[in-house]
């Protein structure tokens, strides 16, 4: 157990955004919310998964939709609590802790906000070890845990409780409700007991994110590149260096779907890179050939500062370093790949681990 | 107080479809459900509004969406009860009775089904005195009653509880959920106490529908036209006689929107009639001039049998009699017309009562 202070939130937000693979939302807003709540209510206890008693409930807290929209349609600050309490009241039992459903700027900070506001501990775990665009894409799903009952709240004060027969219906109904609410919402879902969490959670995601963030900010202070340091702690690879030549985005489905094109610089001069995304980066192609793909992590970093750039903040002319990192092992199982592999996202390619792709590229 | 027997359901379904103004759903399915429930569980007590104690709760039961879809995506029979019980559990109080939200084939029968299944009385009242396409279009809204909390259930077993800040958000969110569920759902909403129901309900709708249905079926047995008899009890008018020359429909918005064109026969030979609808008939135009409009009732009857034809069952070549009937007086108030008058449905015309229009037409 340790305490999360307001100063940790900068590390958490930036580190989680590296793990967020371009998604998980712009850290800015989540960071403000989490820091403000800690300053007002006190430091948040970060507990290990093993500290959660088997029979106690944990309720994850998150935002859903297009984070770019949330920057203009600001939360009122009561939605995460409203969603959390509505899930609790559904079960007629108080929750022991909250947790993060995914690693990513906003969705690592929202649970800190909820934990601080409600005086609950935050569990050092998440359900992805990265960010993913759809609700059922959590390791808990592989263990048969249901997202239902799920509560969706908006900043206007509307609240929707969904009880569905499976996670696909949760995705369909919560997405359609979030789109109708104006493309963003705060949610509570995937309630589970400590026993289940121990079995299926991706452990240590919060402390890993803080460690990554700490390395980035320290390197920045020393005026060094943090890239090697990030690759060391995440076991990742350099994929490409270049500048953004084009970005296409479409928000109408409730996701940020699109493609970004890059032109190589320095030792990548003369080559081109294409990155496809759906909230998160899905597949990176170097000169038309896949060089990293879901569920492995692909993150775009600012070439000067090493700060992660989310898919929503990619802009023409940015000079970037693109890195790839291996995903949590559970995603590489047959069940895991069926749920979040390239074919799920309609790519006609078989998954190849980033380690293999890099080995082939080197030879 | 009287009892509704299975044999009354034929009268209720056909009579409510006359009041349904082309909407309220095909009576066929609702009739089967209500009859089956009565035969299995016993007759349903039909009670007067005055028999509901002021402080007791009444929960309306209804289906939402495009009834034509429900004919192919059949209910499993448990949704109305699931929706009703979920609303009850929200309030933590048992309901005293159920009621109909609108007059119309399916939505007059669903509450009978729910009443029979749950052993509750049905109140002889509704919230429209006709059918309307959108959730907030009930007389209760004029009294400030909220549709929220509303429960939406589908035949697959999914359940959604909506708590919103106003009725417009209930309409938006429940419509979007119903569309995602496959265009039809069963709902519970507009919970109110006996006192409020007495003040804002349209009284006697169920018994009026039964009376109309009885007149149609009796006339049919005597091989007579039931039209005069219907017009007598509803204070209605003949608007047009002719045959259907064209029908256009669009289901994509979760409504059945469209237009039907008719060519006059007999004394209407040489004239044309156009009927616009959104689930229900909205405006009827004789040779391009409005001759009846919302909130007044417009219903298309089969010219031979006098049976009402819903907007979903209008077909090329049908020979029909179109009748118009005055709406419940509360709809003719300024507030009522703002909610369901022609301008709400985007017609650039002022409401004129059918009595006035007929007087002008006669002169």
Q: What pLDDT shows up at residue B362?
A: 87
Interface contact flag, B177 A179, Cβ < 8 Å: no
Among all residues of chain A, which has the CA nearest to that of B174?
A177
Provide the CATH number for the domain around residue B253.
Answer: 2.40.390.10
Residues A6 and A150 in one domain: yes
**pTM, full prediction:** 0.86
- As given in the structure block, the two tokens for residue A333 are 């199982």
B309 inside domain: yes
Residues B199 and B237 in one domain: no
Question: How many Cα atoms sit within 13 Å of B291 on the Cβ side?
Answer: 24
Nearest to A172 among B164, B169, B180 (CB): B180
Residues B94 and B237 in one domain: no
Q: Domain count of chain A?
A: 2
Q: Which residues contact A276 (CB under 8 A, 6 or more apart)?
A: A258, A259, A282, A283, A285
Report d(CA A90, CA A83) in Å as an integer. Answer: 11
Residues B168 and B260 in one domain: no
B146 inside domain: yes
Interface contact flag, B176 A172, Cβ < 8 Å: no
Report d(CA A353, CA A344) in Å as an integer. Answer: 16
B214 inside domain: no
Q: What pLDDT shows up at residue B251?
A: 79
Residue A278, Cβ neighbours under 10 Å: how many?
Answer: 21
DSSP class per residue in A187-216: EE---EEHHHHHHHSEETHHHHHHHHHHHH
Residues A42 and A191 in one domain: yes
Q: Residue B363 pLDDT > 90, yes or no?
A: no
Q: Which of B205, B238, B266 is the last residue of a domain?
A: B205
Whether complex ipTM tops 0.90:
no
* B319-341 mean pLDDT: 97
CA-nearest of A275, A249, A250 to A261 is: A275
Residues B126 and B171 in one domain: yes
Q: In which element (H, E) is residue A41 found?
A: helix A27-41
Q: Residue B43 pLDDT > 70, yes or no?
A: yes
Range of the domain at B12: 2-205
Find out whether B64 and B20 touch, Cβ atoms under 8 Å.
no
Helices (H), chain B: 6-19, 27-41, 67-70, 79-91, 105-118, 139-142, 167-180, 194-200, 205-221, 227-234, 334-340, 354-362
Provide the CATH number for the domain around residue A110.
Answer: 3.40.1610.10
Report d(CA B301, CA B221) in Å as an integer. Answer: 17
Q: What pLDDT shows up at residue B69?
A: 77
Confidence of residue B107 (pLDDT cuts 50, 70, 90): very high
Report d(CA A275, CA A309) in Å as an integer. Answer: 13
Q: Is B103 exposed, middle or buried (0-12, 13-18, 19+ CB in 10 A)?
A: buried
Report d(CA B193, CA B198) in Å as an integer. Answer: 9
A283 inside domain: yes
Q: Residue B253 pLDDT > 80, yes or no?
A: no
Mean pLDDT of chain B: 94
Interface contact flag, B181 A160, Cβ < 8 Å: no
**pLDDT tens by residue, B206-239:** 999 999 999 999 998 999 999 999 999 999 999 9
Alpha-carbon distance A169 to nearest alpha carbon in chain B (angstroms): 8
Residues B234 and B347 in one domain: yes
Interface contact flag, B163 A158, Cβ < 8 Å: yes
Residues A257 and A198 in one domain: no
**Most B CBs within 10 Å, among A147, A159, A188, to test the B interface:** A159
Alpha-carbon distance B73 to nearest alpha carbon in chain A (angstroms): 17
Can you give the length of chain A in residues? 363
Q: Residue B260 pLDDT > 70, yes or no?
A: yes
Q: What pLDDT shows up at residue A341?
A: 97
Find out whether B107 and B30 touch, Cβ atoms under 8 Å.
yes
Bridge partners (DSSP) of residue B44 are B4
B216 inside domain: no
Is A160 an 8 Å CB contact of chain B? yes
Residues B12 and B92 in one domain: yes
Q: What pLDDT shows up at residue A133?
A: 87
Report d(CA B100, CA B68) in Å as an integer. Answer: 20
Is A181 an 8 Å CB contact of chain B? yes
Positions of chain A with pLDDT lower than 70, given as ranges: 254
Is B82 an 8 Å CB contact of chain A? no
Report d(CA B209, CA B230) in Å as an integer. Answer: 10
Report d(CA B101, CA B351) in Å as an integer. Answer: 24
Q: What pLDDT shows up at residue A70?
A: 75
CA-nearest of B237, B235, B232, B189 to B328 is: B235
Q: What pLDDT shows up at residue B72?
A: 80
Which residue shows structure tokens 């919060």? A206
DSSP class per residue in A53-92: -TTSEEEEEEEEE-HHHHTTS---S-HHHHHHHHHHHHHT
Residues A255 and A135 in one domain: no
Q: Residue B254 pLDDT > 70, yes or no?
A: no
Count of A-B CB contacts under 8 Å: 57
Interface contact flag, B169 A156, Cβ < 8 Å: yes
* B291-314 mean pLDDT: 94
Residues A341 and A280 in one domain: yes
CA dihedral B263, B264, B270, B271 (to 10 degrees): -80
Interface contact flag, B158 A180, Cβ < 8 Å: no
**pLDDT tens by residue, A231-269:** 999 999 999 999 999 999 987 776 789 999 999 999 999
Residues A32 and A173 in one domain: yes
Which residue shows structure tokens 């990293």? A292
């Amino acid at each position: 157990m340790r305490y999360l202070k307001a100063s940790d939130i900068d590390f958490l937000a930036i580190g989680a955004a590296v793990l967020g693979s371009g998604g998980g939302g712009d850290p800015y807003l989540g960071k403000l919310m989490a820091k403000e709540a800690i300053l007002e209510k006190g430091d948040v206890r970060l507990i290990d998964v093993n500290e959660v008693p088997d029979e106690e409930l944990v309720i994850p807290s998150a935002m859903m939709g297009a984070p770019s929209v949330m920057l203009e349609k600001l939360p009122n600050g009561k939605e995460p609590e409203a969603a959390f309490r509505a899930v609790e009241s559904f079960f007629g039992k108080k929750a022991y802790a909250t947790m993060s459903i995914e690693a990513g700027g906003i969705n690592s900070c929202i649970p800190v906000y909820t934990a601080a506001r409600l005086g609950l501990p935050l569990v050092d775990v998440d359900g992805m070890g990265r960010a993913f665009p759809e609700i059922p894409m959590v390791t808990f799903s592989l263990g048969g845990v249901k997202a239902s009952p799920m509560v969706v709240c908006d900043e206007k004060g509307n609240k929707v409780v969904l009880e569905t027969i499976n996670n696909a219906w949760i995705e369909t109904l919560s997405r359609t409700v979030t789109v109708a609410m104006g493309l963003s919402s705060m949610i509570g879902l995937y309630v589970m007991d400590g026993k289940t969490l121990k079995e299926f959670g991706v452990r240590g995601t919060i402390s890993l994110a803080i460690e990554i963030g700490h390395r980035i900010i320290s390197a920045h202070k020393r005026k060094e590149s943090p890239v090697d340091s990030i690759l060391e702690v995440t076991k990742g690879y350099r994929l490409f260096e270049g500048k953004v030549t084009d970005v296409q985005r479409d928000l109408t489905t409730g996701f940020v779907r699109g493609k970004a094109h890059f032109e190589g610089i320095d030792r990548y001069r003369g080559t081109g890179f294409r990155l496809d995304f759906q909230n998160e980066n899905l597949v990176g192609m170097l000169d038309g050939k896949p060089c990293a793909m879901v569920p492995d992590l692909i993150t775009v970093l600012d070439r000067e500062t090493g700060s992660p750039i989310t898919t929503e903040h990619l802009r023409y002319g940015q000079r970037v370093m693109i890195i790839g990192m291996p995903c949590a092992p559970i995603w590489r199982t047959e069940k895991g790949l069926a749920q979040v592999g390239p074919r799920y996202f309609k790519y006609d390619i078989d998954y190849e681990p980033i380690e293999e792709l890099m080995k082939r590229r080197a030879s």
